[in-house]
A = this chain, B = another copy of it.
Amino acid sequence: MRTWATGKRPHRHRALGAALLLLAASAAAAGTSAPAAAGGEAAGAARNVILLIGDGMGDSEITLARNYTVGAGGRLHLDRFPMTGSYTTYAVDKDGRPDYVTDSAASATGWATGHKTVNGRISKTPDTDRPLPTLLELARNNGLSTGSVTTAELTDATPAALVAHVADRSCQGPADMRDCPGDTRERGGAGSIAEQSVAHDVDVLLGGGRQRFDQTVTEGPDRGRTVTELALRRGHRIVTDARELAAARPGRPVLGLFAPETLPLEWTGAPAVQGGTAPQRCVTAGPGRSAGTPDLETMTRQALRLLERPGRAGKGFFLQVEGASIDKTDHDADPCGQIGETVAFDRAVRAARDYAAGHPGTLVVATADHGHSSQIVPLAARPAGLSSTLITDEGGLMKVGYGTHAGEEGQEHSGVQVRIAAQGPLARRVLGVTDQTELFTTIRTALALR
């Protein structure tokens, strides 16, 4: 049933897909649940999958960005997916009991491996610390091209969960292994997240975190070399700005490292404060950014260009795209930063949808990994925590409160269910209420990964 794998029988697939959708839609109209009708019969319906993760992009963060930029009655690209649902994101403790607020590591492990784990862990089991196979690994093993794009360090939790297995998310580079004794090369482990990322020979890895890759391996056969040097020895092309990225050609892995740490923010503004800020407009040019820093949309379009060439067996690709700093700016109670990052993510969604418009066998999924702190409150409210009032593009006043943690030491995630939206083959599987571990199954099924 891998009709798309050969790229030869799209029409037959379409007819089958339509029939299945009719089945699902009829079930839906009758009030029964659709998922049962999904079954395994549509396996391989997709040639490509583009998965976009807005880190910390709960419904509140989406509404904030919409209100500020296109207006309360306007629509983001994010809003235009035909299939939509809610998605639960909880983590577990080591005994498998629920932990109602996930971090990005446990969350990414959920969608990347189909298994719940404990907060902080990267694609390993909650109890026995065993590695769990990831979507990217399965895709690569099945002959698909693979890619991962982020505005964070490439070793940060979300991209890490696709290409690494470590006991703790902090083990990003060879010098950061303190909390992962069992993962060190010395102990026979696979090493840091940076080392494991390189060892996976991912076709396209684009993001920040150059400092992690510039660390020197201190153990094992590669001792004395930096991770960057290991990548070069494996034939990777390393690019460090937008021009080099545009010049990269498919054929060997492209490792884009565009900042020492997280990529600079798109927008800036006054952070929220106790008692509220004066009404402010956001500054939409981040001072830390240069012409050489590719934005998330550019990275996404370039990744698609590099992945478009059929994979090793003439197959499609799996690409993950993370808007990472929605989360980071929400932690910082920085509403302008947060909206700027959400808007940048939304442009990456546009890039994905543009690609899918020309390639109908592409499943596109956009979701978040967890909810976050920011809330839109009435202008008359006096929030208990930090707040700021923004003057939106449509001329409204919007008050944003951050109250999940007292003081200015950093806001917290929330445990709210988040939105998931999709288009393309198997998109209907996001309808209703699903758990993020089910997204793993949806993507695995769509690509018929074995």
Contact = CB atoms under 8 A, between A and B. Distances in A.
Pick from A63, A356, A398 the residue with the most CB of B within 10 Å. Answer: A63
A270 B97 CA distance: 25
Nearest to A373: B375
A84 interface: yes
A72 interface: yes
Given A21-B25, A98-B396, 16 more contacts: A18-B29, A22-B25, A27-B82, A29-B424, A31-B423, A59-B86, A59-B418, A62-B86, A84-B84, A98-B392, A375-B375, A375-B403, A375-B414, A377-B412, A378-B413, A384-B403
Interface in A365-417: 371, 373, 375-379, 381-386, 392, 394-396, 398-399, 401-407, 412-417
A90 interface: yes
Q: When A and B form their complex, which 9 residue pairs have the shortest distance between CB atoms, in order from nearest?
A: A403-B403, A384-B385, A376-B415, A28-B82, A21-B25, A79-B433, A31-B423, A384-B403, A72-B90
Contacts of A407: 384
A369 to B, nearest CB: 15
Given A21-B22, A404-B381, A431-B83, A425 B29 contact: yes
A381 B413 CA distance: 9
A31 B357 contact: yes
A398 to B, nearest CB: 5
A291 interface: no
A194 interface: no
Contacts of A62: 86, 417
A24 B364 CA distance: 18
B79 A98 contact: no
A405 B382 contact: yes
A79 B35 CA distance: 13
B394 A98 contact: yes
Nearest to A31: B423
A343 interface: no
Contact of A398 (B24, B75, B80, B100): B100
B375 A100 contact: no
A381 B404 CA distance: 7
A98 B73 contact: yes
Contacts of A402: 384, 403
B403 A435 contact: no
A101 interface: yes
B432 A84 contact: yes
A416 B372 CA distance: 12
Interface of A: 17-18, 21-22, 24-34, 58-60, 62-63, 66-67, 71-73, 75, 79-86, 88, 90, 97-101, 353, 356-357, 360, 364, 371, 373, 375-379, 381-386, 392, 394-396, 398-399, 401-407, 412-419, 421, 423-425, 427-428, 431-433, 435
A407 B385 CA distance: 11
Contacts of A75: 433
B84 A431 contact: yes
Nearest to A116: B73
A247 B427 CA distance: 48
A385 B421 CA distance: 33
Contact of A432 (B82, B86, B392): B82
A415 B413 CA distance: 18
Contacts of A59: 58-59, 86, 371, 416-418
A353 B80 CA distance: 29
Contacts of A373: 375
Contact of A424 (B31, B84, B376, B412): B31
Contacts of A412: 377-378, 381
A26 B18 contact: yes
A100 B72 contact: yes
Nearest to A356: B31
A101 B427 CA distance: 32
A86 B34 CA distance: 19
